[in-house]
């Protein structure tokens, strides 16, 4: 149970999450082992409902954001994912080289991966857990105009010092002809899952798994599939698409959840927004047409629902959420025509909501990764590691 993120610049620069997608299976292997979740549970109070209230970004928060910047060098630094210890994976472009950095919660910087042929390729996707960092490399030549970035290889970095490993790589022939195409990947339960579509424009393909401990590769399913995703609910992928209804996603390998979360979450579309930091959980409700709201559960607070004017997703993609401590972080700015915000933060203790101008590249382990200084056309030149335990609560 980990997070996956494919963050790209398209038109106006935005840090987005393109998690994995996959689909229905015409053939399916024996069920893959489900990853276990360990959460300490204690008697919790009954559910609480809080109306949301919007507040301006507090001055203390603005100061903390400005002081969160990390000196990483380079022309651009895009936060990609955040680990359980608050460490941030950062895609750095030096102008002639591209690499992946691991920035600790203490702002210590370590280079962990160098992009091969950096004038032709860049980092497109990153997922990580306490040991492994999975890097999806996208084909996107620097000089190319209008080329859609396409995943072309998946590599594994062992944080314990083991050798770099390659999971899969597209051939140059397939890249140029629109043949077999790596669609997406996810890290879940100690395995890398990835979809290879039969052709670039097609929807049929095969999802396979790579066991990070043994190196074993297994065919999991085949059929119509896109966008495999790992969430706190488990492993899912898309199996059908409609212009009006959006993608139909199915949960294929569920993860273990605390009973109060499982009971409140249900089995509808809300489950595909479920996130956790290993102790607390958050998700969006109303994704199937009901009034949008946010839900939060911790062993201490029990179930908390935030209603009223809260960010909401659309038919095509689940609302991109993160949770860190008492805060739900939404990787989506204000719904207006100003486009001057990139993310929202909700304090589940009060229902207070505030919007952030910097883009958010993940939240976990007490850290929120922010991209600082981005413009409408350029990625952020700097990354910040914002520690939430130093922030005052949000109130209205």
Would you give the DSSP letter of residue 234? E
Decide if 396 is inside a domain. no
Angstrom distance (rounded) from CA 138 to CA 6: 10
Decide if 140 is inside a domain. yes
Angstrom distance (rounded) from CA 338 to CA 335: 9
Classify 138 as helix, strand or coil: strand
Instruction: List pLDDT tens digits, range 301-341.
Output: 999 999 999 988 766 678 899 999 999 999 999 887 677 89
DSSP 47-89: PEEEE-EE-PPPHHHHHHHHHTEE---SSEEEEEEE-TTS-EE
Decide if 395 is inside a domain. no
Decide: 375 and 335 in contact? Cβ < 8 Å. no
pLDDT confidence bin for 289, thresholds 50/70/90: low
The pLDDT, as a whole number, for residue 298 is 97
pLDDT confidence bin for 42, thresholds 50/70/90: very low
Q: How many CA atoms lie within 13 A of 198 on its CB side?
A: 9
Angstrom distance (rounded) from CA 234 to CA 27: 20
Question: What are 53's two structure tokens?
Answer: 């209230």
The pLDDT, as a whole number, for residue 288 is 65
The larger pLDDT score, comparing residue 169 to residue 24, is at 169
Classify 326 as helix, strand or coil: coil
**Number of structural domains the chain divides into:** 1
pLDDT confidence bin for 31, thresholds 50/70/90: very low
φ, ψ dihedrals at 317, nearest 5°:
-135, 145
Decide: 111 and 100 in contact? Cβ < 8 Å. yes
Decide: 372 and 386 in contact? Cβ < 8 Å. no
Decide: 152 and 161 in contact? Cβ < 8 Å. no
φ, ψ dihedrals at 168, nearest 5°:
-160, 155
Q: Residue 112's domain spans which residues?
A: 3-27+36-390
Q: Which residues contact 302 (CB under 8 A, 6 or more apart)?
A: 44, 45, 46, 47, 48, 260
Instruction: List pLDDT tens digits, range 370-381.
Output: 999 998 889 999
- Average pLDDT for residues 106-116, to the nearest whole number? 98
Distance of CA 227 to the CA centre of its chain: 12
Decide if 162 is inside a domain. yes
Decide: 185 and 227 in contact? Cβ < 8 Å. no
The pLDDT, as a whole number, for residue 312 is 82
Question: What are 342's two structure tokens?
Answer: 């990139």
pLDDT confidence bin for 41, thresholds 50/70/90: very low
The pLDDT, as a whole number, for residue 218 is 99
Decide if 356 is inside a domain. yes
Measure the CA angle with vertex 269, ends 268 and 271; round to 5°.
80
Partners of residue 109 on adjacent β-strands: 103
- Average pLDDT for residues 88-117, to the nearest whole number? 98
Q: State the chain's mean pLDDT as an integer.
A: 88
Q: Which residues contact 59 (CB under 8 A, 6 or more apart)?
A: none
Angstrom distance (rounded) from CA 294 to CA 50: 10
Whose tokens are 């958010």? That residue is 360
Percent of the chain with pLDDT over 70: 87
Decide: 219 and 29 in contact? Cβ < 8 Å. yes
What's the CATH number where 332 sits?
A: 2.130.10
Decide if 231 is inside a domain. yes
Angstrom distance (rounded) from CA 353 to CA 330: 10
Decide if 73 is inside a domain. yes
Decide if 380 is inside a domain. yes
Angstrom distance (rounded) from CA 247 to CA 234: 18
């Amino acid at each position: 149970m980990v997070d996956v993120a494919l963050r790209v610049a398209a038109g106006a620069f935005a840090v987005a999450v393109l998690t994995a997608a996959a689909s229905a299976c015409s053939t399916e292997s024996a069920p893959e082992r489900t990853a276990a979740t360990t959460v300490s549970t204690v008697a919790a109070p009954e559910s609480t409902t809080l109306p949301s209230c919007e507040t301006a970004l507090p001055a203390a928060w603005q100061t903390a954001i400005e002081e969160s910047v990390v000196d990483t060098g380079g022309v651009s630094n895009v936060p990609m994912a955040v680990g359980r210890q608050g460490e941030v994976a950062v895609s750095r472009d030096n102008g002639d080289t591209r690499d992946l950095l691991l920035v600790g919660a203490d702002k210590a910087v370590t280079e962990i991966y160098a992009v091969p042929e950096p004038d032709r390729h860049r980092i497109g996707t990153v997922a990580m857990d306490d040991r492994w960092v999975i890097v999806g490399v996208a084909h996107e030549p620097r000089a190319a105009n209008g080329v859609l970035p396409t995943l072309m290889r998946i590599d594994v970095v062992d944080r314990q010092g083991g050798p770099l490993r390659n999971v899969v790589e597209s051939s140059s022939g397939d890249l140029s002809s629109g043949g077999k195409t790596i669609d997406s990947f996810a890290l879940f339960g100690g395995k890398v899952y990835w979809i290879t579509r039969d052709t670039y424009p097609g929807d049929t393909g095969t999802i396979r798994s790579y066991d990070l401990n043994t190196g074993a590769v297994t065919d999991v399913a085949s059929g119509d599939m896109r966008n495999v995703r790992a969430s706190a609910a488990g492993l899912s992928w898309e199996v059908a698409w409609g212009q009006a209804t959006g993608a139909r996603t199915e949960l294929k390998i569920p993860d273990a959840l605390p009973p109060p979360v499982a009971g409140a979450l249900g089995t509808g579309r809300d489950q595909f927004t479920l996130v956790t930091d290993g102790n607390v959980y958050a998700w969006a409700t109303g994704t199937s047409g009901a009034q949008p709201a946010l839900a939060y559960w911790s062993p201490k607070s029990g179930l908390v629902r935030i209603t009223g004017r809260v960010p909401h997703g659309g038919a095509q993609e689940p609302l991109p959420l993160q949770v860190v401590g008492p805060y739900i972080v939404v990787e989506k700015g204000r719904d207006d025509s100003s486009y001057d915000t990139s993310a929202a933060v909700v304090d589940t203790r009060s229902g207070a909501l505030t919007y952030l101008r910097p883009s958010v590249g993940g939240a976990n382990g007490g850290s929120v990764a922010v991209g600082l200084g981005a413009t409408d056309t350029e990625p952020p030149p700097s990354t910040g590691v914002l520690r939430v335990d130093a922030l005052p609560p949000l109130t209205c």
